Amino acid sequence: MTLSPTEPPMDHQAVLAALPPETRAGLAEVTSAEGLRHLALHLGLIALGIAGMASPLWPLALVPLGLALTFLFTLEHECTHRTPFRGALSDWVGRASGLVLILPFEWFRWFHMAHHRHTNQPGDPELEGARARGARALAWQISGLPYWRAEIALLLRLAAGRAEDCFLPKGARPRAVLEARAMLALYALGFLLAPKVLIWFWVLPMLVGQPFLRLYLMAEHGDCPQVADMLANTRTTFTNRIVRFLAWNMPYHAEHHALPTVPFHRLPALHGLMRAHLKVTAEGYAAFTRDYLARRL
């Protein structure tokens, strides 16, 4: 499916409407096999990183372990859509990922659904707060420290029973509170029993890995037009297989927003159908980051 030079650009709804129903149905079919294979490989990377941290070569393992841990965010993100695995497995993997990331899954599911409903427009909770500008503000944002402060505050607020976020349905609030309390209990137990293990193999790698995730996330919607068309308000970034693997194919982000029911392993196929219609792309994360920061410094 391609456009002739004389035809006007199509928005994501028009592009999807042009796809045969059987093609859309096939793209949206959820199976667990690919998700379990990818999860096993991702967990294998984490295990290798932990083994490296326990060796004299631990400085070489610190960044890879941090990347493997922090990029569980892209898995938790996918689990909010229940696309990586069939049934309740997506929920439990999402909760486990959220425990690693200090990002409560029950709360994040509804936060993310609101982001999809109002992508890069008023009502999108990701737009709350001023965009960082200037070297000091950008360095603070990229450091990841504001993320940790916000997530710890969120966890404590939810655990205290204050789950009043406008995007969180009343029926979901008790679950969000219960999950936050369970997470705090597990953190307390872990630090009581093995504080050095958690600091060495979790806290330190996560602190090192978070700036890479912050830079990666900037590319998803940063400087995109605030319009309803998912092919314009969201950026697809062309990158290598390693990044696509770590990010569970989320560099195909415009495709994901256009049809979020498509599992991560079928996004390359959807990209093949939509590539000619993408309006905002980047040739790699280094190029995007260089241009993005240059506009703010």
Question: pLDDT (tens digit, 9 = 90+) per residue, 119-160?
Answer: 999 999 998 755 778 889 999 999 999 999 999 999 999 999
Q: Please check whether residue 3 lies inside any domain of the structure.
A: no
Q: Please check whether residue 5 lies inside any domain of the structure.
A: no
Write the DSSP string, 235-265: -EE---HHHHHHTTTTTSHHHHHH-TTS-GG
In angstroms, the Cα distances linking 8 to 14, 257, 259 are: 11, 21, 21
Confidence at residue 21, expressed as pLDDT on a 0 to 100 scale: 94
- Residue 23 sits at φ, ψ, to 5 deg, of -70, -45
Number of domains into which the chain is organized: 1
Domain containing 168: what range?
A: 12-294
Q: Please check whether residue 254 lies inside any domain of the structure.
A: yes
The pair of structure tokens assigned to 164 is 């009043």
Q: Which residues pair with 236 in a beta bridge?
A: 281
Write the DSSP string, 6-31: TSPPP-HHHHHHTS-HHHHHHHT---
> How far apart are the C-alpha atoms of 39 and 43, rounded to whole Å?
6
pTM assigned to the model: 0.94
The pair of structure tokens assigned to 85 is 């695995």
> How far apart are the C-alpha atoms of 161 and 163, rounded to whole Å?
6
The residue whose two tokens read 């950008």 is: 138
The pair of structure tokens assigned to 271 is 């990209």
Q: What percent of the chain clears pLDDT 70, i.e. is strictly above it?
A: 96
Q: Please check whether residue 1 lies inside any domain of the structure.
A: no
Q: Please check whether residue 4 lies inside any domain of the structure.
A: no
Q: Please check whether residue 24 lies inside any domain of the structure.
A: yes
Q: Please check whether residue 6 lies inside any domain of the structure.
A: no
Q: Which residues pair with 237 in a beta bridge?
A: 282
Confidence of residue 8 (pLDDT cuts 50, 70, 90): low
Structural contact between residues 262 and 236, judged by C-beta atoms closer than 8 angstroms: no
> How far apart are the C-alpha atoms of 177 and 156, rounded to whole Å?
10
The pLDDT tens digits of the residues spanning 213-242 come to 999 999 999 999 999 999 999 999 999 999
